[in-house]
Structure 1
Amino acid sequence: MQWPSKKQWLAWHTFIGVLSGMMLFIICWSGTFATVSHELDWLTNPAWRSDASSISHQQLVDAYRQVQNVMPEVEIRQIETANSAGYAISVMIKPPHKAPEYVLVDPQTMSINGSYSALTIARFFRDFHMVLFNPLGIGKYLVCVFALLLLTSIVTGLLFYKRWWQKFWALPTGNSARAKWSSWHRWLGVWSLWFSLLIGVTGSWYLFEQSRFNFFDGLFSYTDSVQGAERPLPQLTANNTSISPAQLADAISMAEQAIPELTIHQISLNRGGYLFIAGQTSALLVRHRANKVYIDPTTMQLSYHQTADELSPYWRWSNMADPLHFGSFGGLYSKLIWFVFGLALSVMAFSGTWMYVKRLAAKASSSRVISLRFAVYLSWLCLAAALVIAGMHIMALGKGPDGWHWPPMALGSALFLLGWSGITIIGCVVGGRVLLSSSQ
């Protein structure tokens, strides 16, 4: 069997670019903003801000007590802190006859900065990027398939671009628009190679993980108190969403004794009946729930605790995928690096498609023009469906006893999301029309 020629590798790279470019742009564009979405919440909503340089475990108890005192009628479900300093404590509540909301408590003054719907910028971009707001239940599969196409595009690109490792310092040049775009595309591709591989590998892992969960073993965790754990904890029936601040303080003390180095970032008051505490230790590159404690609220006894270092290689990697994919492991600095390279990947997705469309038009390749049209129309359909379903979710969050309303949200956050959505729609429509017209 003869090894494919450089021309054949280029043809395959071209075809993958034509097929996936527009949709890959939408996915990368939304993922780029997902990396800094918590920071965007902080920028657009003053209630998220605090002068506190750190948050102690006692302040978590004090915030819980404050919300209980000020809002005795609500059900407190969860307490969360950000990974970085300067953020308020977020307390998730469920008011009577209303959708869940977030109460933001300043850890320094213990004053309540405000209450807002569960629609945050972070939640919007995470749902958009990872599942396209889950249209018809296939959103995650649709997104993750493009991770495989991204990896295939990387491999075929490297195989036709000879001596690519010598091109890092070759600045982009070109006499024509197409030549300049081609030069920039290759230059960005070389510098973004590590990032593209990381996104492709972790995205493909999500596809495997979701497929394994849905079609094979139904497992999403090593140990948990809800369905889907390899080692399930017995579910409890206790209603512990109204525990006293003193009980919460005792539970935190038990967590500190079980895992002395634990920095708490999440407390759930009813996870399968347990009081659930999770956070970070010295273990690198893991999400919060890799280090966790379960406490029976009825007996106030420790039921289970786990650190990331105790996990098998499989489950350790499972808990590493998110920090690597979103760049959250190093705080703002790593997130900004992910943001910049995410923009580069978005530019490459569109510029690569545009260049190859020009080449297809010159060669009058009708079959690939049909593929391009299919890809553009599919991307438009997916974007429209995602935004329509997002609108339905938003309205549901504002539903109350007197009807439907826009959910409580900071004006700056709402304007940002509306502006980003508008720019994305216009960009995709105009970009798609440019591609379609260039192919004729």
Structure 2
Amino acid sequence: MSSEANAVLDTDVIDRPVTDTPKTKTKAKRRKKKMTTHRAAFLVHSFIGLKLSLLFSIVLITGAIAVFAEEIDWLFYSEVRVSPVGEKLNEGEVFDKLKAAMPDVGLSNYITANDREYSAAQALMTLPEGGFKKVWIDPYTGEVQGVTNFLTVGEFFSILHKNLFMPLIGRALVNVFGVLCLIGLISGLLSYRKFWREFFKMPRTNRNLRVFLGDLHKLIGLWSLWFVLIIGVSGSWWFYQNPLVRYDLAPQFLPDRVIEPQLTQQDLEKLGSGIPTPLSSKEIVEAVKEHDPDFVPHLLNPPQHNGQAYTVRGTKHDLLVSKWSSSYYVHPYTGEIIGKRLAEDYPAISRVDWSMIPLHYGTWGYDGIGDFLVKLVWCVFGFAMSFLAISGMIIFYKRTKSATQKLLPKQGFKRTAKRSWFVMRPWGGPMGAFKYLNWLFIAVILIGISIGFKLQSEGTSGSGYQYNTKTIGNWTLSMNATLGLLEKDLDPIQPGRSTTINVFIKEGDPSAIKFMYMKTRKPRTMRAPGSVVHGTVGNQNANLPVPKKLKDNAKLWVTIEDWDGNFYQASWPLMPDGKETVDLRTFNKTDS
């Protein structure tokens, strides 16, 4: 056992007067070497709290702030604030007014703000060049309030808490801390003898700072038990799903995800030839409300391609589910309800799964003063957990400071150099060699944040592989390939992995396209021409599987079907050839 582990034991022991004889010192030393359940639990608790303390603190602090993400944006941005004037308009009508005011941009994920009296509704706006922003509209009048960056202050803290701006592993890494919270809770209780007697024991103020922080650490920890349990259980639940189930490391116990209802080929054939006119969002919402008057819409998702239904998400005020956990699927051309997924019909295990979101984020108060009070409690105890992580590190430093000072030269350069060595060396300190892992992750987070800010202004344009402008039938388009939004600067075409092909229609009427498909080889039949292109203006894309073995002359084939049943095709070299297909990463570096 290390001297540092011995140094971080009970504060009461360190502060007692020392009158031991050599004989009692020998007995004390013998007792220290004995590993008890109490001591083992203490070492586990200390290890969890110290080794990843920097990352732990980031996750906890950002989580406490993100509880009030909506309210923070309401304070920071005038575009988010509205004054109630009479009754709110039909949710779909407001969305229709927004689309009419901004016809040249892609609009999706329309959040109705039905649970907010003084907040504007919002939609995700995709610019023609691929950038992302948020547009805000008054739900009482239908007037556009303004546009903000996608990464608002509240959104920034929410994303930082959920995935640390890390591509691929961010969400799984955050979920790991849920498991650590649960282990830290259990080990903390085991290491704190007869803790149930200490709920009202005030911190000692007549001792030094370390003793005061130690007592306060224990007191806050005891009163936060219920909250740490909620965060630990919900985080562990998600950890099981990601990474364990996601990477086939554990069996899935949740029901299989049901495919959302789609329009059949017969449904589309009934529309006849020529470009059909879809119903307005107002008519879609009216159809849902007529079918289910108790349903409150919170999120409108227009079809991403002509085979999809119009999705209206919302709630019927079911207990412990998110406000868009229930869905109706509507035929976008007839208004027929073709499917539903309601929380009241979920099996018990699915209800438990859905409950993790409002329990973890404190959103089960729904709206009004109840919502604010629940969030306030979650925010306060979130900062309390942050204090536990930070105070634990301070207590460790305080306990080991005197021993460290004795090892330093009295003054001069040698003292500074040796103190720096104590910080940088692979062993020692609260984090030991884990300090490098903390620093590495923080560096990756900073890189991810910079990519995030770059992404919201540029989107995916100017990155990956560019497939230069070409005419297909009545349309002229260009494309670019990226591995994903946060992975846009990586090699986009990797054998065995899926890539994202973004489509930019330069000329031609997009509504005249019934379907657009993509494939890495020429389709043998028009019954299966490839992956369907979907999305809104500026964000039309296809998730394209890349074969494990690529031929040297592999091509990217695009097939367009119009509403009259005509097919048009064109192809590009899948890999850069410097003419039709260009690697923008290399091109931009050479050009600069």
TM-score, normalising length: structure 2: 0.61
1:369 Cα deviation after fit: 2.2
Check the 8 A contact 1:65/1:245 in 2, yes or no. no
Check the 8 A contact 2:297/2:315 in 1, yes or no. yes
Matches of 1:387 and 1:183, distance apart in 2: 35
1:314 is aligned to 2:354: no
1:361 Cα deviation after fit: 6.1
1:255 is aligned to 2:268: no
State the match for 2:392 in structure 1.
Answer: 352
Check the 8 A contact 1:60/1:79 in 2, yes or no. no
State the match for 2:246 in structure 1.
Answer: 214
Deviations 1:10-33 (A, max 9, x none): 232222222232221111011111
Deviations 1:169-209 (A, max 9, x none): 22111401110110110011011111111111111111112
State the match for 1:270 in structure 2.
Answer: 303
For the structure 1 residues 220 and 122, does the alpha-carbon distance in structure 2 shift closer, same or farther, using more than 3 Å as the test? Answer: farther
For the structure 1 residues 362 and 5, does the alpha-carbon distance in structure 2 shift closer, same or farther, using more than 3 Å as the test? Answer: farther
1:183 is aligned to 2:223: no
Which of 342, 345, 357 is residue 382 of structure 2 equivalent to?
342
1:47 Cα deviation after fit: 0.6
1:245 Cα deviation after fit: 9.2
State the match for 1:200 in structure 2.
Answer: 232
Which of 171, 174, 180 is residue 140 of structure 1 equivalent to?
171
State the match for 1:32 in structure 2.
Answer: 64
The structure where helix makes up a greater share of residues is 1
Matches of 1:295 and 1:220, distance apart in 2: 30
Check the 8 A contact 2:221/2:388 in 1, yes or no. yes
Check the 8 A contact 2:86/2:140 in 1, yes or no. no
1:161 Cα deviation after fit: 1.2
Q: How much is the aligned-residue C-alpha RMSD, in angstroms?
A: 3.2
State the match for 2:439 in structure 1.
Answer: 380
Which of 10, 23, 36 is residue 55 of structure 2 equivalent to?
23
Q: What percentage of residue pairs aligned between the two structures are identical? A: 27
State the match for 1:5 in structure 2.
Answer: 37
Matches of 1:172 and 1:20, distance apart in 2: 27
Letter in 2 for 1:186: K
1:36-115 counterparts in 2 under 5 A?
36-52=68-84, 56=88, 58-82=89-113, 83-115=115-147
- Taking CA–CA contacts closer than 8 Å with sequence separation of 6 or more, which of the two structures ends up with the larger relative contact order? 1
Matches of 1:218 and 1:255, distance apart in 2: 37
Runs of 5+ unmatched residues, structure 2: 1-33, 269-274, 366-370, 405-424, 464-592
1:353 Cα deviation after fit: 2.3
For the structure 1 residues 401 and 165, does the alpha-carbon distance in structure 2 shift closer, same or farther, using more than 3 Å as the test? Answer: closer
Deviations 1:226-264 (A, max 9, x none): xxx6221354598xxx99895322221222244331111
Matches of 1:346 and 1:391, distance apart in 2: 25
Which of 456, 478, 483 is residue 397 of structure 1 equivalent to?
456
State the match for 2:258 in structure 1.
Answer: 231
The structure where strand makes up a greater share of residues is 2
3-state SS of 2:258 partner: strand
Matches of 1:22 and 1:400, distance apart in 2: 31
Runs of 5+ unmatched residues, structure 1: 223-228, 405-440
Check the 8 A contact 2:92/2:284 in 1, yes or no. no
Check the 8 A contact 2:112/2:139 in 1, yes or no. no
1:281-320 counterparts in 2 under 5 A?
281-320=316-355
For the structure 1 residues 218 and 304, does the alpha-carbon distance in structure 2 shift closer, same or farther, using more than 3 Å as the test? Answer: farther
Letter in 1 for 2:138: D
Check the 8 A contact 1:77/1:270 in 2, yes or no. no
Letter in 1 for 2:175: C
For the structure 1 residues 220 and 210, does the alpha-carbon distance in structure 2 shift closer, same or farther, using more than 3 Å as the test? Answer: farther
State the match for 1:168 in structure 2.
Answer: 199
3-state SS of 2:340 partner: strand
Deviations 1:77-123 (A, max 9, x none): 23103332210011223232242322211122322110123222333
Letter in 2 for 1:353: M
For the structure 1 residues 235 and 361, does the alpha-carbon distance in structure 2 shift closer, same or farther, using more than 3 Å as the test? Answer: farther
Deviations 1:366-418 (A, max 9, x none): 997267133333223222211221111211211289989xxxxxxxxxxxxxx
3-state SS of 2:109 partner: strand
Matches of 2:68 and 2:132, distance apart in 1: 24
1:220 Cα deviation after fit: 12
Letter in 1 for 2:379: F
Matches of 1:209 and 1:315, distance apart in 2: 13
Matches of 2:235 and 2:460, distance apart in 1: 41
Letter in 1 for 2:298: H
State the match for 1:280 in structure 2.
Answer: 315
Check the 8 A contact 2:284/2:330 in 1, yes or no. yes
3-state SS of 1:380 partner: helix
More deviation, 316-325/382-391? 382-391
Letter in 1 for 2:302: L
3-state SS of 2:354 partner: helix
Matches of 1:392 and 1:126, distance apart in 2: 16
1:285 Cα deviation after fit: 1.4
Check the 8 A contact 1:290/1:307 in 2, yes or no. yes
